[in-house]
Structure 1
């Protein structure tokens, strides 16, 4: 499919200040840049410094880095304008500073006057700013579609059973979610920001997932939101000749196939000493040096025996053979389908930009 445009489209992208958001945004930027888009990638100077080395000289011709300066504060110096290595107690200050950067971002939009803006879950002001200039704004969500559809279902349809019983909140997580909903109403609807950001995405919403993995949840999200959902992932960071990654690959090359488990908890989750010990013991008990949920105790704690049980099942036991086969098939299918999904997205984005005069504000809502 020929996706090259005769006129180069200009897209402004602004992810949340966490690398778990910045990374897929950057990979999407690269894929769009390869299809004759000019990308303006907006973030704080400290974040832009960290990703600059991931942009090749050729890519830099189409991907321009735009600095977003947060309001200055003695409690939050510029090197803390990122979630990377941010002390947990400063997270509220960072979120507040980001919310207060609206005038700065508004000035950026007016200066660049892009054809399209792509924004993150916690930026409800972006569609309004863009609409004032008749610029379509589209939300790109980096979490999975299953969890987002479950959360949106529980918020929009309290008391109604989620239509996919294989995905359910149990024990610790059910209690935690119920508490979060109660706090939402008690604090004056704290979730309205993300919900408004979702509602005001112009006609479509992008997700860092793929149909092969989450097709039915993607379709259900379309029903819940009334918008077309575009899976554009999984967007995985490409290797750009970095020493650390070369060392990791050399280390993996010495391991037998299906013998290594990658354990990740995200960039904003901090394990306690006890949890680190439980994970280490669980890995040790498994006897091993594919991802699956590890059940937590009722109080939310991790159990070493549960960790070991899950790893054994996924990696070595006969009962997990079907899962291992499916994982390999999934990887092959995603590689083949990934670029097609981006090509389809490009066609949709081009069409949205042709409809920019339809972007209007009515009673605080976009339509």
Structure 2
């Protein structure tokens, strides 16, 4: 093993979201075991969410958004739980953080930067300091390849599946949601140094990883595994809350309970929340529902849910407001399905535990991820009505099929098989990614030595 002085130092710069900071940390853990020294740079509120999971050779570096407006105080410097009206302000503040990040870059002088899809200036800044920069993609290969090829149109090989698509309404919704960040996403792919790293597994997305490689000419696309956090690292100060939830699950039969969580960045309308609640009641399936509301909104679950809902479902359901220990819930033997918005982290986590998915996608890459789960045979999507709203009977039908009905046996089997494939995956491709990063760092060192 090389001594500490010969370690390459890597500065990691994720988006301001737990869904990005967390896989960046898990990637940092892999690299730290391969004799890299890692710095993870983000706002204090994001770093607080991962600091209990640190290991030696990983250091946290705080980024302060000095240009943040008054309506965006430091505890709002994360997209988690942020209402849609505040997200543009956060992205603008992040984009204006170049002076603060430049100071950090000059101080650390890393051998390599691993960056996310935003802010757009990160690549030019890295190159101006002669530091190579590699993109790490927290989204899946199916969604990334789909969106990138749709922009390139006829100039790239045909997309490998007709089952992966967007409805017209989803195209419009995604376009409005992404806005100016869209061009930054594609630039982050194209200008990555030699390779693109991706949070994925070939057993889940092999043909999409290959397709993405085929349209990103001269770039290797390397999957680095699921990069989900370990069960015993979740909870921290909220351990007592986790124990209450897990004790409730202990009383339920094996695979009899469904877990509901629709992420921390998109929120249901009041009508959709009511339809989802009625659907749960109609399904007659046990459930645990983690409900979140946008920051700054003083809403309680008993007010948002239909009147008398909690009393009518009785001991069959548990509603949790805010945080829930997702990995430990999904890893519990009583869980038989996951009603999810199909954010990529949730999809890969659910299938990693062999839990089939009931997809209620809302925005961004989520519809593609939901349809990937369906294509893999490990989930079903809840279809919305002509007004793009949930309908209680459809919610109940899909939940029952995935968790209880005989017609869902193959879905449950496919989810278990996918879990085994993910867990038994070899480290060959991860080692390939590590070796490519070493080559990039060595190349930089050789250039500097010649000067």
Scaled by the length of structure 2, the TM-score of the pair is 0.71
Q: Determine whether 1:258 maps to 2:250.
A: no
Larger mean CA deviation between 287-296 and 99-108 belongs to 287-296
* Cα gap change, 1:97 to 1:358, in 2 (>3 Å): farther
Q: Deviations over 1:202-231 (max 9, x none)?
A: 111122111111111111111122221111
- 1:192 is matched with 183
Which secondary structure state, in structure 2, belongs to the residue aligned with residue 305 of structure 1?
helix
Contact persistence 2:159–2:211 (CA under 8 A): no
Contact persistence 2:26–2:229 (CA under 8 A): yes
Q: Note the residue ranges of structure 2 that are not aligned, 5 or more in a row.
A: 287-355, 358-378
Q: Determine whether 1:70 maps to 2:70.
A: no
- 2:147 is matched with 151
1:55-94 matches, within 5 Å, as 55=54, 59=55, 61-72=56-67, 73-94=69-90
Contact persistence 1:211–1:231 (CA under 8 A): yes
Which secondary structure state, in structure 2, belongs to the residue aligned with residue 156 of structure 1?
helix
1:47-126 matches, within 5 Å, as 47-55=46-54, 59=55, 61-72=56-67, 73-126=69-122
Which secondary structure state, in structure 2, belongs to the residue aligned with residue 234 of structure 1?
coil
Q: CA deviation at 1:350?
A: 1.0
- 2:225 is matched with 233
Which secondary structure state, in structure 2, belongs to the residue aligned with residue 267 of structure 1?
coil
Larger mean CA deviation between 64-73 and 329-338 belongs to 329-338
Tell me how far apart the structure 1 counterparts of residues 105 and 383 of structure 2 sit (CA, whole Å): 45
Scaled by the length of structure 1, the TM-score of the pair is 0.86
Q: Determine whether 1:30 maps to 2:29.
A: yes
Larger mean CA deviation between 190-199 and 145-154 belongs to 190-199
Q: Deviations over 1:4-37 (max 9, x none)?
A: 5553221111111111111111121122223322
Tell me how far apart the structure 2 counterparts of residues 105 and 80 of structure 1 sit (CA, whole Å): 19
* Cα gap change, 1:310 to 1:31, in 2 (>3 Å): same
* Cα gap change, 1:302 to 1:103, in 2 (>3 Å): same
* Cα gap change, 1:281 to 1:96, in 2 (>3 Å): same
Tell me how far apart the structure 2 counterparts of residues 114 and 67 of structure 1 sit (CA, whole Å): 16
Q: Determine whether 1:267 maps to 2:264.
A: yes
Q: CA deviation at 1:246?
A: 4.3
Tell me how far apart the structure 1 counterparts of residues 243 and 37 of structure 2 sit (CA, whole Å): 30
- 1:337 is matched with 425
Tell me how far apart the structure 2 counterparts of residues 248 and 31 of structure 1 sit (CA, whole Å): 31
Larger mean CA deviation between 297-306 and 11-20 belongs to 297-306
Which secondary structure state, in structure 2, belongs to the residue aligned with residue 258 of structure 1?
coil
Larger mean CA deviation between 349-358 and 41-50 belongs to 349-358
Which secondary structure state, in structure 1, belongs to the residue aligned with residue 24 of structure 2?
helix
- 1:139 is matched with 135
Contact persistence 2:116–2:136 (CA under 8 A): yes
Tell me how far apart the structure 1 counterparts of residues 176 and 404 of structure 2 sit (CA, whole Å): 38
- 2:210 is matched with 219
* Cα gap change, 1:79 to 1:176, in 2 (>3 Å): closer
- 1:304 is matched with 392
1:260-299 matches, within 5 Å, as 260-289=257-286, 290-291=356-357, 292=379, 293-299=381-387
Which secondary structure state, in structure 2, belongs to the residue aligned with residue 75 of structure 1?
coil
Tell me how far apart the structure 1 counterparts of residues 418 and 234 of structure 2 sit (CA, whole Å): 27
Tell me how far apart the structure 2 counterparts of residues 275 and 13 of structure 1 sit (CA, whole Å): 38
Contact persistence 1:13–1:117 (CA under 8 A): yes
Tell me how far apart the structure 2 counterparts of residues 62 and 275 of structure 1 sit (CA, whole Å): 46
* Cα gap change, 1:95 to 1:335, in 2 (>3 Å): same
* Cα gap change, 1:325 to 1:80, in 2 (>3 Å): same
Which secondary structure state, in structure 2, belongs to the residue aligned with residue 65 of structure 1?
strand
Q: CA deviation at 1:299?
A: 2.9
Contact persistence 1:172–1:296 (CA under 8 A): no
Tell me how far apart the structure 2 counterparts of residues 338 and 69 of structure 1 sit (CA, whole Å): 39
- 1:364 is matched with none
Q: CA deviation at 1:167?
A: 0.8
Q: CA deviation at 1:247?
A: 4.2
Q: CA deviation at 1:53?
A: 2.2
Q: CA deviation at 1:358?
A: 9.3
Contact persistence 2:118–2:181 (CA under 8 A): no
Tell me how far apart the structure 2 counterparts of residues 342 and 162 of structure 1 sit (CA, whole Å): 25
Contact persistence 2:197–2:224 (CA under 8 A): yes
Q: CA deviation at 1:171?
A: 5.2
* Cα gap change, 1:355 to 1:249, in 2 (>3 Å): farther
